[in-house]
Amino acid sequence: MKVVLASKNPHKLVEISQITEKFGFQLVLQSELGVDIDVEETGTTFEENSLQKAMAVMRATGLPALADDSGIAVDALNGEPGVYSARYGFDESLDDWGRLQLLLKNTEQVPDGQRQAQFVCVITFVTPEGEVIQARGEIHGELTREPRGENGFGYDPIFYYPPFGKTTAEVSSEMKHQVSHRGNALRVLREKLKEAGYADK
């Protein structure tokens, strides 16, 4: 089945395809189909934003669509930046590194032992026939005080995962994927798609 991924990011395509190709989805990027829409994420939950993106791309292409929405939620900041992780600080001049530094600064006063944080990912599958399937994955860790590691992206260098004894930027992408929010969401999605009859493996 041809399924369009609501993203322009080839890295996401590779990561998500690794799982979805196993059950016969032929995943294509929206940009490969000439769809150049930037969906405004107006929701306040990962579920809402991921659904908005999947619906918009499904409507624009007439094909079943997959979308993900993800971010980091810090306990001591009442779950911030959460759905605003990619826009944290609301300062256009900030890049991933700038946002990471801002998060470190805003948690400077948070003592050790109270620096718990989660990466969250919600993946949504929708079809033109009205099927909606959502899967959520999380990974629980702690914020470091300084960036460590060269792998990954975004907030990985300051996300310490205790079972590894390392940040998620200090491990390979394969190792991260085995425990990550996105990996976990994809594994849940796979089970739900099987139950709904979209995948048999």
Where along the sequence are the contacts to ligand IMP (CB under 6 A)? Answer: 69-72, 85-86, 96, 119, 152-156, 180
**21 residue type, one letter:** E
CB 50 → ligand IMP: shortest distance, Å? 8
For ligand IMP, give the closer residue by CB, 93 or 201.
93
Tell me, yes or no, if 69 is annotated catalytic: yes
* C-alpha span between 94 and 69 (Å, rounded): 20
What is the spatial distance between Cα 126 and Cα 19, in angstroms, rounded to a whole number?
17
CB of 24 to ligand IMP, least distance (A): 25
**Residue 75 or 96 with smaller CB distance to ligand IMP:** 96
**Which residue in the list 36, 38, 68, 69 is annotated as catalytic?**
69
Q: How far is the CB of 183 from ligand IMP (least distance, A)?
A: 9
For ligand IMP, give the closer residue by CB, 160 or 199.
160
Q: Active-site residue numbers? A: 69
